[in-house]
Structure 1
Amino acid sequence: MDIYIFLFYLSITLLAGFVFGKLAELARVPEITGYIIAGVFLGPSIFNVLSFEALGSFDIITNFVLGIIAYQIGTELWMPKVRKSGKSIVTITSVQAIATALIVFGVIYLIDGRLWLALTLSAIATATAPAPIMVIVKKLRAKGPVTNTVIPVVGIDDMFGVIIFGLFTAIAVATIGNEALSIHNAVIEPVIEVLLSVGVGSAFGLLLGFVSRFFIHRLPKTEKYIAYLVFSLSSVLLAVFIAHTYHLSMILTPMMIGMVFTNFIKKEPFEIQGAALSNFSGPLIIIFFTLAGAQLSLSVLKSAGFIAVLYIVFRTIGKIGGAYLGAVMAKSPKVVRNATGFCLLPQGGVEIGMLVAVSSIFPSGEAIFIKTIVLAGILFFEIVGPIIFKFTLEKVGESRLTEHHQEAVITDVKQLQEA
């Protein structure tokens, strides 16, 4: 695509997403939902302003923004805070992932009877999209036991998702072609992917920490903001490049950079780099979710059929019930037991990556059928998931975006304008 046409599409995407986001906010639903709906209107399903061919040109931007979001998840995993509830987080994550996989597998295999389909859908059902969760947490300035549980659970959940997906799809492919099951493909490859992603991300995080401690720390305060922004973005760009080139996790690699880095620095530089990245990423977040909406096809709903309904209903039951059971086993507070599962419904980022893998490892007929069902699920969970998540945080009283905060923000803006 010509670069200037690309810039035209980019401007339309940004403006449409912003306008629909504000309309969504007026309707008291998350801005993310507005971005996604704007994308649906721009995409092939309705006006076809962004064709499937045009959308392919945006891959580098979507991967970059996904890297930034994963990095921000990592920066929230401050070990003294995580350590207090580390055991409960691992318990909740593992139980909800296993419960979701088993419930979706059992229902679809019992009703449909195709082992390969039940295995693949149950593996994809375990993953949770981190992007809408982080954006809504930042938007609401959410704090509290549910927020402190959900953020690390989402990060660790993707590790479980990658491993379960590798294991289940290897078995599924073997059942289709009557091939011998390869332990290397089923277990070793996904484990190596996770370990390398963690290792590479940790190395970059250490490097960024050393740069902060021995270089940026010495700069004048006025120069630290841009320095942290430059080094953070450079680290994310390198992580995305390495993850893409060497087939590592596009989420785990930058997430580990953020986690290691945030545990290497003091509170002041942490707050500076967090503010710098949040201010920079605002327009990119709008583009990311508007493009995600444009990739959704409304026609998928017609062809996905009853299996898609089963996938949506029983993934929801697995996430909510599994998180509740895990929280009970971990002896978590009542509010965490009751609310966490409702916060784990969004899908969209990791799952789309899994569908790319499905296209390459399954015969075309089976791959198309799987993608049709999962895309119907993504369409539902991308729109409904953020609404339920926002409502849950507000219901448990962890949203800090009260009228007082809104007035404070308006006052700050006016003071800046007058300065």
Structure 2
Amino acid sequence: MLVLAAEATSWSYQLILLLSITIIIGLFAGRFFERKRIPNLTAYILIGLVFGGVIVWAGHEEIVDAFEVIINVGIGFIAFSIGLELNFKRIKKRTKEVIIVTLFQAMFAFLLTFFALYILVLPLHIALLIGSLAIATEPGPILLITKKMHASGPLTDTLVPLHGVEDSITIMLFGITLSYAVSVETGSAFGPMEILTGPVLEIIFSLIIGLVIGYILVRIIRYLKYEDVEKDIVILISAIAAILASIAIASTGFDIFGIHIHLSPILLPMATGIFFSNLSTDLAKHETERIMDLFSAPILILFFSLLGAEIVILLAVSLQVIDLILILIVSLIYVVMRFFGKLSGSWIGGKVAHSDASVTRYLGFCLLPQAQAAIGLAFFARSSLSGTVYGTMILIVIMISTIINGLFGPLGVRHALMQCHGVDGNFCNIVHYAKADPERHHHH
């Protein structure tokens, strides 16, 4: 027993060593990629794929469980940062437009993916379930690249609030389609009550708890004097505590009247950020953003690297049980149809909502990255459909799509921001970016 414990401890320290090496390699690889005009996230994911290969080769696949926590912490930090960006005063006049565009691109991504899968390869209930996952996009790459390029303007103003709305649509549709899929696979009854209460309660409680934590954070930071020497430390610690509390509560959920309520690990930290951002002064918000940006850099490198590693390990673990040809066909259809759904939906939604030309033309390109939300839901689907052929298949299809969109998605975001800057100087402000690098400006 003791030997086993000692082995486990030494392996956990080896993991820490591996993680520290990953962060450093990630930092420099990211900088190298940036110079070659490829977003640094692509570097992090590639390093993750290699890192996953090393772990599989060393035979330590069980380590995936340890990743789960780090990945959830990463997503919490990203979601909180997105919440901070969401200023209601700034988007008040865009609310209707954001909702219309989000609904259109979500519905198109869902319907195109679902129909193609259903007609070509999969049974109805599984095609519906995978279709619902096509809606989710990964806010991380979008947030990082818009920040790095100092982009502002109609496109980024539409992008940021879109995630909150989109996350809610995904949760609702996924909840309904999963209940239906489980009832088909197990032959149990399919009742409307349980289906709706789950997702609706998840969204409501995520918002309420986010409001409470956000409000506490505002009160703490209110008491700070501007001349306080330790101001930065207090802000940093309070913000980290708020984010970690949001992540922990979201990941454990709670029971009310005998119903277990899951909370969204994206929606809850995002709600905390949103309420904090809108209830505190501009100065407090600005200071918090500045400090959190520095702190979250290593977390983001780890987040994207581990995501890549997790994909490799899960593929390796489930290779025996899966039908590779079917998975490749489904993945291909999923990636292609989701791409067309996002582009056409954003375009039509933009036309209906009379959006800016930059939004109509380029928003779809910004919605390609997909990771934690979809993977988290796919994990959930796998455990709900554990006795069936489809559980692991859904997870692996989403993972493959994540790699493809993770490598090419950030290029789409970058392309969109560069292009909408080129459409007309007022559309997207990348002035800072252009000034910082005259060479780069020269090429466009």
Structure 2-normalised TM-score? 0.86
- 1:233 counterpart = 2:231: no
C-alpha separation in 1, matches of 2:240 and 2:354: 39
Q: Provide the secondary structure at the position in 2 that maps to 1:43.
A: helix
Mapped pair 1:159 → 2:168 = yes
Report the residue type matching 1:257 in the other structure. Answer: T
CA contact (8 A) 1:52 1:295 kept: no
Cα deviation digits, residues 279-321 of structure 1 (max 9, x gap): 1111111111111111223778954222211111101111111
Q: What amino acid is the match of 1:225?
A: D
Please, which runs of 5 or more residues in structure 1 have no aligned partner? 408-419
Whole-angstrom CA distance in 2 between matches of 1:26 and 1:391: 16
Please say if 1:110 is aligned against 2:133.
no
Q: Residue 339 of structure 1 corresponds to which residue in structure 2?
A: 362
Deviation at 1:372, TM superposition (A): 2.5
Whether the aligned pair in 2 keeps the contact of 1:42 and 1:50 (CA below 8 Å) is no
Change in 2 beyond 3 A, CA 1:56/1:207: same
One of 332, 346, 353 as aligned partner of 1:309: 332
For residue 433 of structure 2, what is the aligned residue in structure 1?
A: 402
Do the aligned residues in 2 keep the contact of 1:224 with 1:272 (CA within 8 Å)? no
Instruction: Give the one of 254, 257, 263 matched to 2:278.
Output: 263
CA distances 1:144-182 after superposition (whole Å, capped 9, x unpaired): 111111111123211111111001111122222332212
- Please tell me whether the aligned partners of residues 67 and 254 of structure 1 are also in contact (alpha carbons under 8 angstroms): yes
Q: Secondary structure at the match of 2:280?
A: coil
Is 1:21–1:34's contact at 8 Å kept on the other side of the alignment? yes
**8 Å Cα contact 1:93-1:157 kept in structure 2:** yes
Q: Is the 8 A contact 1:9 1:50 kept in 2?
A: no
CA change 1:5–1:359 in 2 (3 A) is same
**Quick check: 2:217–2:276 contact (8 Å CA) kept in 1?**
yes
Match for 1:379 among 390, 403, 411?
403
Who is 2:345 aligned against? 322
Do the aligned partners of residues 50 and 269 (structure 1) sit closer, same or farther apart at CA in structure 2, a change above 3 Å counting? Answer: farther
User: Any idea what SS the aligned residue of 2:169 has?
Assistant: helix
2:59 & 2:140 partners in 1: Cα distance? Answer: 22
Superposed structure 1 runs of 4+ greater than 6 Å apart: 298-301
Distance in 2 between residues matched to 1:339 and 1:288, nearest whole Å? 27
- Give me the whole-angstrom Cα distance separating, in 2, the residues matched to 1:100 and 1:50: 38
CA-to-partner distance for each residue in 1:173-200, whole Å, 9 max, x for gaps? 2222332212234211011111111110
Change (3 A) 1:48 1:149: farther
Give ranges in structure 2 of 5+ residues lacking alignment: 1-7, 254-261, 422-427, 439-444
CA contact (8 A) 2:171 2:199 kept: yes
Go from structure 1 to structure 2 and tell me whether the alpha carbon gap of 1:237 and 1:117 turns closer, same or farther (over 3 Å shift).
Answer: same
TM-score normalised by length of structure 1 = 0.91
SS in 1 for 2:393: helix
2:55–2:61: 8 Å Cα contact kept in structure 1?
no
Q: 2:85 matched to 1:76? A: yes
Deviation per residue, 1:258-296 (Å, 9 max, x gap): 111111122211111110000111111111111111122
CA contact (8 A) 1:67 1:250 kept: yes
How many aligned residue pairs are there?
405
Distance in 1, Cα, partners of 2:79 & 2:228: 27
Residue 244 of structure 1, aligned match among 251, 259, 273 = 251
1:14-413 alignment to 2 at 5 Å? Answer: 14-44=23-53, 48=57, 51-213=60-222, 215-216=223-224, 218=225, 220-246=227-253, 247-297=262-312, 303=325, 304-362=327-385, 363-397=387-421, 398=428, 399-405=430-436
Tell me the distance in 2 between the aligned counterparts of 1:79 and 1:237.
24
**Aligned residue identity for 1:405:** A
**Code of the aligned partner of 1:292:** L
Q: What letter matches 2:371 in structure 1?
A: G
1:49 offset after TM fit, Å? 6.3
Q: Deviations over 1:88-115 (max 9, x none)?
A: 0111112211221111111111112501
Q: Which moved more, 1:36-45 or 1:243-252?
A: 36-45
- CA distance, structure 2, for counterparts of residue 45 and residue 8 of structure 1: 13
Alignment identity in percent? 30
Counterpart of 1:416 in structure 2 is none
Residue 412 of structure 1 corresponds to which residue in structure 2? Answer: none
